[in-house]
């Protein structure tokens, strides 16, 4: 029996890598999957792949770091589906450099996507979640242990764990469960 029939699942960065595998997995379990990604070509390809398999998916082009885009996509999804059940904050980038060499631009790009993006998507979409809603944030083992050359990335992945603990307390009262996952290294285009 399929486990997510009738559920609306948003997966940021869902067009490739871990996010795409999750998108396919949820869709195969019966979910309506909204793929929020800023890569137009990969997003369209992902939607096509789902539809060709007879699954339910919708690519929405969203830069998670842009509040106007996030809010517009959340409203469009609410209009189409009436609610959101699961948010997987998966979109993430790296801009690695040692502390000595890291530029403020590299620092800021990673903060904008990996930290502000998670904040914006969660703020926008939990408005449309009721009892039983789920938020899953993607941290990393390096957020727990640190890693050479990743001051910016590690700051965001440790920050995501902190935000998860805050939202578990705040949103738990509304019946929304918030968790983080901290994957080890997985062979995707990111690494």
Active-site residue set: 153
| Residue 10 φ then ψ, to 5° | -100, 130
CB 39 within 8 A of CB 55: no
Using the contact rule CB under 6 A, the part of the chain among 31-39, 80-88, 101-109, 144-152 near ligand NAD is 31-39
Choose between 92 and 133: whose C-beta lies nearer to ligand NAD: 92
By CB under 6 A, the residues from 145 to 174 that bind ligand NAD are none
Q: Is 118 in the site for ligand NAD (CB under 6 A)?
A: no
Q: Is 38 in the site for ligand NAD (CB under 6 A)?
A: yes
Q: Is 129 in the site for ligand NAD (CB under 6 A)?
A: no
User: From the CB of residue 16, how many other CB atoms can be counted at a distance below 10 Å?
Assistant: 19
Among 10, 18, 115, 154, binds ligand NAD (CB under 6 A): 18
Using the contact rule CB under 6 A, the part of the chain among 76-84, 98-106, 162-170, 183-191 near ligand NAD is 183-191
- At 41, list the tokens: 């070509």
Helical ranges in 53-150 per DSSP H: 67-81, 104-110, 117-126, 141-145
Cα atoms found within 13 Å of the Cα of residue 95, Cβ hemisphere only: 17
- At 168, list the tokens: 């578990």
Q: Is 138 in the site for ligand NAD (CB under 6 A)?
A: yes
CB 176 within 8 A of CB 126: yes
Q: Is 39 in the site for ligand NAD (CB under 6 A)?
A: yes
Choose between 126 and 138: whose C-beta lies nearer to ligand NAD: 138
Q: Is 19 in the site for ligand NAD (CB under 6 A)?
A: yes
Query: Which residues sit opposite 37 in a β-bridge?
Result: 61
Choose between 18 and 55: whose C-beta lies nearer to ligand NAD: 18
CA atoms of 128 and 122, how far apart (whole Å): 10
CA atoms of 70 and 120, how far apart (whole Å): 7
Give me the residues that bind ligand NAD (CB under 6 A), please. 12-13, 15-19, 37-39, 42, 62-65, 90-93, 113, 117, 138, 140, 183, 185-186, 188-191
């Amino acid at each position: 029996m399929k486990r997510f029939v009738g559920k609306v699942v948003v997966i940021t960065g869902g067009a490739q890598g871990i996010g795409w595998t999750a998108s396919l997995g949820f869709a195969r379990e019966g979910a309506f999957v909204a793929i929020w990604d800023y890569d137009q070509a990969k997003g369209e390809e992902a939607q096509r792949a789902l539809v060709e398999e007879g699954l339910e998916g919708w690519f929405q082009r969203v830069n998670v770091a842009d509040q106007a885009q996030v809010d517009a996509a959340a409203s469009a999804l609410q209009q189409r589906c009436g609610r959101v059940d699961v948010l997987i904050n998966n979109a993430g980038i790296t801009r690695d450099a040692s502390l000595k060499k890291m530029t403020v631009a590299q620092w800021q790009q990673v903060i904008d996507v990996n930290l502000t993006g998670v904040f914006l998507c969660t703020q926008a979409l939990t408005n449309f979640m009721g009892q039983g809603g789920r938020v899953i944030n993607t941290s990393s083992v390096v957020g727990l242990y640190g890693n050479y050359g990743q001051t910016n990335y590690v700051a965001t992945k440790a920050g995501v764990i902190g935000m998860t603990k805050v939202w578990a307390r705040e949103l738990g009262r509304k019946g929304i469960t918030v968790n983080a996952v901290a994957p080890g290294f997985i062979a995707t285009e990111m690494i």
